[in-house]
Amino acid sequence: MKKKQILIVEDERIEADNVKASLQRIGYDVCGIAVSGEDAFKKAEEMHPDLVLMDLVLQGETESVLAALKICSIFNIPIIYFEANENSKKLERARRTEPFCYILRPFEDRDVHSTIEVALNQHKIKNNLEETEKRYQSVVKNAHDAIYMMTPERFQYVNPAFEKLTGYKKNELCSEKFNFWNIIHPDDVKKIEKNTKNMGKNGIRNKEFRIVSKNKEVKIVKANTVNIGINKEVVEVGILKDITRQKNTELELKESLEKLQRTFEMTINALVTAVETRDPYTAGHQKRVSDLACAIANEMGLSKDKIEGVRLAGIIHDIGKIQIPYEILTKPTHLSKIESVMIKMHPQVGYDILKEIEFPNPVAQIILQHHEKIDGSGYPAGLSGDEILIEARIIAVADIIEAMSSHRPYRPALGIDAALNEVIKFKGIFYDPAVVDACLKLFHEKNYMLS
């Protein structure tokens, strides 16, 4: 390991040689001997020693304490003074100017060694601390988020991002006159007061509130704070993240989603109207089927998403009838075989109309399957059991109940009792037993009525 380089500052030659010999004995290199304050400064600049060992009483224009201060502050080199008299005024002054160490003459080698090692170590620690402090300052100063430190009375520190966020300068914010509550939106003051009371030493986490900047601009921030003890005082350290843009984007997104949802509902309603205008006898049929199917789905404990699928599919389940001639739809007598075939095409037609639309649920599939029966005797595919979507099995029951309860061109209304008897009769054959049970429970126990 390279030996530490030491500059001796001593104007008495014999004394300087003694000190040099002592330093060499204990393993240091003496890179030079300066004889005055000016000489010491010059040699420190040239040699950059690791440490300066300086006589406190020197001849010349620049006295030792001033030379030491210059060397220390300009070249960041630690200084050790040596002096014969512990009570000298110079030593008192040197102590006040923060020498790294001092040593009294006459000294032993081991005293010099330990004093130098302590001085070098202290210097290293001081440098590390300064480096850490610089890094910390740089991070805080350049942080994108607003950072502050405050006591209950006032701000102690704010970073540039805090000034930018609030529009106030650091000296305004940190002055005794500044009222912290001035920057909190009046409607959020109570919320913050409540949070401040309850936060304890752990501070607050991700709390959102509004602030009002100097030019009256309202901004939304997310706050994280922590309370720490500095010099026996509780200091709140906080970070405020400006989330105004993020919040506005979320709001715009929510509004456009709601608008899209409204447009979607209007489109669905237009489709319902399109079918029901051509088939006045089934006017309201799809809405009533949708309502009953949703009630059954809810009774069965289906998920929110599935219930929404039932609602949408129910409300347009007969959309395919749009392709069936008006005369057939409104025919007051029973249908011929060919007319029946045409009617039975409506699930497929409905599916073809809707299959390209990206519904959040399998609406087109549900509509395609709403005339399937669990024994496989339904249409168009003759699916059975679990091959049929649960939503379609629910709509099938709701559909027959509503249809039999209402008037049709070819027959009068048969009534709810006949409709319920029909699903009981074909429970487990045409209709899913769980769906039939849920439907019966609604009518028998929960007084459900078709609207």
Residues that bind Fe ion (CB under 5 A): 318
Report, in Å, the least distance between residue 350 CB and Fe ion.
8
Closest CB to Fe ion among residues 318, 432: 318
**Least distance CB 451 / Fe ion (angstroms):** 19
| Short-list 192, 226, 227, 186, CA closest to 208 | 192
Nearest distance from C-beta of residue 396 to Fe ion, angstroms: 9
Evaluate whether 238 touches 145 at the Cβ level (below 8 Å).
no
Toward Fe ion, which CB reaches closer, 146 or 396?
396
Which CB, 279 or 318, lies closer to Fe ion?
Answer: 318
- CB 402 to Fe ion: min, Å: 10
Q: State the minimum distance, in angstroms, from the CB of residue 320 to Fe ion.
A: 8
Give the residue with the Cβ less far from Fe ion, 43 or 285.
285
Of the pair 69, 403, the CB lying nearest Fe ion is at: 403
> Whole-number minimum distance, CB 224 to Fe ion, in Å?
57
- Whichever of 188 and 318 has its CB closer to Fe ion, that residue is 318
